[in-house]
Amino acid sequence: MQVILADNQAIYRAGIARVLSEEVTTEVVAECAKLSELMEAVANLRCSVVVFPSSFAWEQHKLLDRIEQAGSRAVMMLEPGVDLDESISERLQGVVTRSVAASQLIECLYTVAAGERYVRRGVVKTMAGPDHLGVKAAQRLTARELQIVALICEGLKNRQIAHQLGTKEQVVKNYLRNIYAKTNVSDRLELALFTVHHRALAEVVEATRLELVRTA
């Protein structure tokens, strides 16, 4: 089974690719950060299982047209608070939540590759509940720590983060220890996944990222 994997979160994308690499019958043949990259990969790598997030919301029908033309199958990762339009859902072979467990994602991909449909019960009309854990994490992190989390989610290494923030690499490492303790995670991949899965924190981090871009 060959998989085309798309996501705008570099470290989240890398985490899924790492999980799939452990499956001997699965090969990630392309990793795409943008819709344009995904469109090109789908056109060039036929008969694949295409995994992409609901945040690639623009031109979804055009993307699904291309997936169908390539003889491939589409799996959408549905993000918190997103209601999936019926005209889109009926064209998907698989739907999972963004916080899907690795075992469930693998089950989904094998099911879809076998020509069947896989939709986790209740995901098509998922409604977002209060994200108390995300709110608490966002409140505990300082402005500088939020900047570092934003850059971690962009896939930057410590040296790159230090350069962008005008500080030293060791200072970034010190901040990361504090961030891990406040969010109860053990490494940068887990931090990125924690951020993505908690809407309240993700919104604050995204606002911080945009501010960094604006003032760069």
Higher pLDDT among residues 129 and 32, named by residue = 32
Pick 81 or 117 by higher pLDDT: 117
Report whether 73 contacts 91 (CB < 8 A): no
> Cβ contacts of residue 203 below 8 Å, gap of 6+?
none
Higher pLDDT, 49 or 81: 49
Predicted confidence (pLDDT) at residue 97 exceeds the cutoff of 50? yes
pTM: 0.67
| 82 has pLDDT over 50 | yes
Residue positions counted in the chain:
216
pLDDT at 190 over 50: yes
Give yes or no for residue 123 having a pLDDT over 60. Answer: no
**Cα(123)–Cα(41) distance, integer angstroms:** 27
**β-bridge partners, 77:** 53, 96
- pLDDT tens for 20-58 read 888 889 999 999 999 999 999 999 999 999 999 888 866
Domains, the chain? 2-119 (3.40.50.2300), 132-215 (1.10.10.10)
